[in-house]
Structure 1
């Protein structure tokens, strides 16, 4: 009697990259806008409650789109970028490069550029990391590495966005063989965000016009 075949395990586990600052900012904005909107809907008179509800339907999804939604999921086979209004999925074989200058960007082989909203570039953090690296080089001008060197200290000398881009480049270098990759390139619009924003905006314009 043969034992049942166990379910297939995923070949590669995703690494997830998100902006901590964006998550905190988004949560605070939702609380603030929700409090103001609900208060206006409850206490307002005439068309004010309906205008407040239409405004909430428009604004809340936009806050979610630009703060809570952005994320990058990557493994050794593909990268999936979840931006405010689109989700891009590419196998590493279709990726030309990943860069971080003033923004973090993904370049496809066909020349298309996608911004990585979940990996914001902080010039201030980059300058701070450069100062740490400069001090470290002055402490050890010959670049010698102690056996007791702390890897975390080395990582602290690199800005978060640059560190993330370096990790994504390493994954790209280890990308799956194109003959074995089961991932196909796709770009999908986020209708779950666009639909409520569009409906709320139309209602808001109509209510303001007749109010």
Structure 2
């Protein structure tokens, strides 16, 4: 039995990431490479070694907190990639998805933050003002050329959380969505950073 290659998939996985976080991470990595590289090439005495240890310590942390965070919403599960952990959450185990001062998912009796979906109180207030203005115009029956589009009536983080709630409700009954959350630590980032910290401490202790 063959499938039509032109047919649209039943479900397209959604990915949520912070463009501001990625942008700041790229800038910080470029700055670290510039300063650290210059110190390694031009420095004297212990300076190149200190620069190398500093890069080994700082670069994994920059990647962890800026470039790495992401949330993938699949047909059967939610995959949360935070700075130092990757959590796989089957939809059936999701108890709640909410956004207060931070975005988080409650599953299996534990709480996991969604670093890739940061809450912006400024965007939330802006969306609330847009919604109030739209409601006032609807009541008075006036039509404004500057009326906000539906996408501006809710902060992006709140819209993302609402989407995840709907996906959790829709996918909870699926056979492949059963199970409990699993956690994997990002040792590929933790270990180099700890080694860099140890080197910095050792070099700093030398006379």
State the shift of 1:178 in Å: 5.1
Once the two structures are superposed, the pairs formed by residues 128-143 of structure 1 within 5 Å of their partners are: 128-141=126-139
Contact 1:76 1:172 in 2 (8 A): no
Offset from partner CA, 1:150-175 (integer Å, 9 cap, x none)? xx811111101001001000101101
Within-5 A mapping of 1:46-195: 46-110=45-109, 112-141=110-139, 153-177=149-173, 179-181=175-177, 185-195=181-191
Gaps of 5+ in 2: none
Distance 1:180 1:55 in 2: 44
Deviant stretches of 4+, over 2 Å: 3-6, 10-13, 176-185
> Aligned in 2, Cα 1:5/1:158: closer, same or farther, shift over 3 Å?
closer
**RMSD in angstroms over aligned alpha carbons?**
2.3
Which stretch of structure 1 is more off in the superposition, 80-89 or 174-183? Answer: 174-183
The answer as to whether partners of 2:92 and 2:178 remain within 8 angstroms in 1 is: no
Matches of 1:121 and 1:134, distance apart in 2: 20
CA contact (8 A) 1:77 1:183 kept: no
**SS of residue in 2 equivalent to 1:106:** strand
Question: Which secondary structure state, in structure 2, belongs to the residue aligned with residue 120 of structure 1?
Answer: coil
How far residue 41 of structure 1 moved from its aligned partner, in angstroms, is 1.0
Q: Per-residue deviation at 1:195?
A: 1.0
C-alpha distance in 2 between matches for 1:5 and 1:162: 37
Match in the other structure for 1:149: none
Shift of 1:177: 2.4
Say if 1:180 and 1:83 are closer, same or farther in 2 by CA, change over 3 A: closer
Number of residues of Structure 1 aligned to a counterpart in Structure 2? 198
Contact 2:91–2:178 (CA under 8 A) maintained in structure 1: no
Structure 1, 133-142 or 70-79: larger mean CA deviation:
133-142
CA contact (8 A) 1:51 1:207 kept: yes
Contact kept? 1:12, 1:77, Cα under 8 Å: no
SS, match of residue 210 in structure 1:
coil
